[in-house]
Structure 1
Amino acid sequence: MLNLATIFDYSAKNYPQKKAIIFANKHFSYAQVNSLINQIGNGLKNSGIKKGDKVALSCPNLPYFPIIYYGILKAGAVVVPLNVLLKSREIAYHLKDSEAKAYFCFQGTPDLPMAQEGFEGFRATGTCENFWIITADPAEPSPIEGTKTMGMLISKQSPEFDMVQTHPEDTAVILYTSGTTGLPKGAELSHSNMIMNALCSRELLQLTYDDIHTIVLPLFHSFGQTVQMNAAFSMGNTVVLIPRFSSEAVLSAMQDENVTVFAGVPTMYWQLLAYEDKDKKYDIQKISKTLRIGVSGGASLPLEIIKGIEQKYNIPILEGYGLSETSPVSTFNHLHKTRKPGSIGTPIWGVEVKLVDPQNKEVPIGQIGEIVIRGHNIMKGYYKKTEATEEAFQGTTWFHTGDLAKMDDEGYFFIVDRVKDMIIRGGFNVYPREIEEVLMTHPAISIASVIGIPNEQHGEEIKAYVVLKNDQTVTAEEIIEWGKKQMAAYKYPRIVEIRKALPMTATGKILKKDLKVETAKS
């Protein structure tokens, strides 16, 4: 037997009175949370959910997410976490594609009416049999007439439940890719995939029994779900849940709850670095005394931000690399080894990584190649997508990531860019990340994103979108002239657009595809 729900169950049995979750100044013990998890398991079982059935979940970072997540797993079912920003049409696609038998959806807010979108998506499928609204207060009636609530599901259910036995290779979670090309695909991750990655993450972060995590990364995403939630609960840690990122929310949690571990994507670190505490509400010195580590993933963290954060908070920032398809962690900057800022580190325990050319031949040290991975973290495949799965593995046991990197002579990997983001200008390969790194050394630039746009003469031209630092003024022309002096003639951006903000995903990644669509329309 190997069930991912053991992650929480073990800690609940061993540390029942310890704080498991802190949310909105309320504290929930492992015993309290486990009782609710068991009630979810009983409710699902009594609703006809069987081992292997898919159950979808749309919920922000609230205590209900881990409660329902582990309840689904305990019942032997498969969790299908959905992005909370999906609209009804997209929800219907995910429910149909995953063959979900049931769907839990948070009620939402006036600005984000999740339950309304969720119910419309549920009705459009015709195949999903159960719909439960997660109300802010479980005792509240359903906000949509004729629908049931999670509170109704667990009412009068026993707080005791025997975990359904699952095998290591049984599917535990289906994580949908962001769909940067075509429709989203569901990566099938086994109980073994997920548990191994959580345990590896716990070792990589050198977690101890006393660690306290701020979790602001969306739990529907693999980074927050595995590296933080599952790793933390496996160690009997306390998590402080924050539904939406803001510098104030994170700093308040760090200060009030003596947080030791923070994980985020580059844009979060950028905002924490740029934040001006005009009212002097936060004692950075106090925060720095308890905060011991920062973890970054999701995209490459610019060196200027790493330097700034490490200096401001006096903590090491450890970068790692992975994807939904790899559970997610594949490489990491290990605490006990030399840390190389700008590097995604070396492969984690039990995982192999190499770089290959388009003919699948390994490239020499120092040369750029596509990252391919194999090991205990690799997904079973894309759910019901045989062709896409075959394309990802190309007839081998190695998963092709679509990311370009180079490796130094000590085995450290450095991301260069996505294969699809690489710009070819006048026959020269240009890597947007390199240009972005240079632009962010400009004293007036806070963050930058570089794309290629069609050009008759050169095939593609380089365009940079930049956001300026507070109170800084500089023109696009001045940035272009500055870039000329910093970069080779084929590299510097000929077009610069200054923005107040850049489009981002719910997980904090800059949406380059949106910038490309905007450019195409104009």
Structure 2
Amino acid sequence: MTIDVVQYSHSTLDWFSGLSVCINAGVFSTRSIIADNQFDPAFLCRIIEEHRITFLVQSPAQLAMLVSCPEFEASDLSSIRHYVYGGTSCSVEMQQRMRSRLRQADCLVFSYNLTEMNSLGCLNHHYDEKPNSVGRPVRGIKVKIINEEGEALGPTEMGEVCFNNGQHWSGYYGNPEETRLMIDSQQWLHTGDLGYMDPGGFLYLVDRKKDMLKYQSIMYYPSEIETVIARMPNVAEVCVFGVWAEVNGDEAAASVVKKPGTQLLAQDVLNYVREHIEAKHKQLNAGAIIVEDLLRSPNGKTHRMATKAHFLEVTKRQKT
């Protein structure tokens, strides 16, 4: 990294992405843009043009908001040399829309890391060859995929993603129970993410382990439905979650953000899922709502539980 780099990140210092950008500024004398406002994609477009941003670090949710805002297509993004995003799965369509606006073929970089590890875990510099993979482990990092019994799985087999960087981690301050869930006796960090490695050693994320749903004893993942809804032309973002029903168990529901200037009804979403997914247990049996935005963590990632709580509040008001 050179001193002509102008970097931007909306992450706070309690996340690895925000901390690393801060460290880069001190070590390499890079110019950094710090924004303390709620993430606003239109504002970011202006910042990129005004300050000629060269290096961005964002979450997939922020990427989706950026490419879906009206200002995106008309903005000058030619200064961007590296656009790093990651931390969770990301819609391929949103990645492709971002890629279409960036000049350099290799500047779109999918990444994956844990704040607890205090380092990068994987990087994908091969977007064309391996779209939607978070890449291969960086030097010094070990990755394994395990099943429910803790046994290591082979290529293409899906299980929980675990990291080991060979360093000591003291755990969460004052929270030994959560620490034991995160790290085992062999110093493997358990991410809680489900994924698989392909034969070439590229890691793919599928969903959060704790987000797995069960409808009439049939297991499924919210991302399976989110991927389908994200293909709708007027959809900017979507969050799917389970709403408990006495008979069926986890009935899928969705909060959907429409693209600015477009029309989208909840019934449109229900119909689209019905037309493109045959399985009964993957229908939006608990319904859908259209929202202005999804609820997020301080780092900009979608907060599934908070979004679900908002959904339940809205649907309760609609029934009364």
Q: Which runs of 4+ in 1 moved over 6 A?
A: none
Of 22, 41, 54, 1:229 maps to 22
Distance of 2:102 and 2:297 partners within structure 1: 26
Residue in structure 1 matched with residue 33 of structure 2 by the alignment: 240
Q: Is the 8 A contact 1:378 1:399 kept in 2?
A: no
CA shift, 1:514, in A, is 1.3
SS of residue paired to 1:309: helix
- Cα distance in 2 for partners of 1:369, 1:344 equals 16
Return the letter of the residue paired with 2:141: V
The question of whether the paired residues in 2 share the 8 Å contact of 1:452 and 1:461 is answered with: yes
Q: Deviations over 1:384-405 (max 9, x none)?
A: 4334333322322211111111
The change in CA–CA distance for 1:458 and 1:375 in structure 2 (over 3 A counts) is same
Alignment of 1:279-298 (within 5 A): 283-284=75-76, 287-288=77-78, 290-298=79-87
Q: Deviation at 1:237? A: 1.9
Aligned partner of 2:99 in structure 1 is: 310
Aligned mates of 1:518, 1:427 — CA distance in 2: 26
1:452 to 229, 242, 254: 242
Q: Residue 233 of structure 1 aligns to which amino acid in structure 2?
A: G
Judging changes above 3 Å, is the alpha-carbon distance between structure 1 residues 208 and 354 closer, same or farther for their aligned structure 2 residues?
same
Count of aligned positions? 309
State the Cα deviation string for residues 376-434 of structure 1 (Å, max 9, x = none): 46633222433433332232221111111111111111111111111112222211123
Paired with 2:145 and 2:44, the residues of 1 have a C-alpha distance of 37
- Please report the RMSD computed on the Cα atoms of aligned residues, expressed in angstroms: 2.4
Provide TM-score, normalisation by structure 1. Answer: 0.55
What's the counterpart of residue 301 of structure 2?
A: 509
Q: Secondary structure in 1 aligned to 2:12?
A: coil
**CA distance in structure 1 between the partners assigned to 2:178 and 2:70 by the alignment:** 46
Is the Cα–Cα contact under 8 Å of residues 289 and 311 in structure 2 kept in the other structure? no
Report what 2:269 is aligned to: 479
Instruction: Tell me if the contact between 1:369 and 1:404 (Cα under 8 Å) persists in the aligned partners.
Output: yes
**What SS does the aligned partner of 2:134 have?**
coil
Instruction: Please name the residue that 1:492 is paired with.
Output: 283
1:473 deviates by: 2.2
Whether the aligned pair in 2 keeps the contact of 1:330 and 1:377 (CA below 8 Å) is no
Q: Distance in 1 between matches of 2:134 and 2:307?
A: 26
Between 1 and 2, higher relative CO (CA 8 Å, sep ≥ 6) is seen in 2
Question: Could you list the runs of 5+ residues in structure 2 that have no partner in the other structure?
Answer: none
Query: Which has the greater radius of gyration?
Result: 1
What is the TM-score normalised by the length of structure 2? 0.87
- Contact 1:223-1:328 within 8 A present in 2 as well: no
Corresponding residue for 2:50?
Answer: 256
Counterpart residue type for residue 243 of structure 1? D
**Contact 1:214-1:253 within 8 A present in 2 as well:** no
The Cα of 1:520 is off from its aligned counterpart by: 5.7
- Does residue 395 of the first structure (1) align with residue 185 of the second (2)? yes
Query: Measured at CA, do residues 283 and 364 of structure 1 come closer, stay the same or move farther in structure 2, by a change above 3 Å?
Result: closer
More helix per residue: 1 or 2? Answer: 1
1:474 and 1:379 mapped to 2: Cα distance?
47
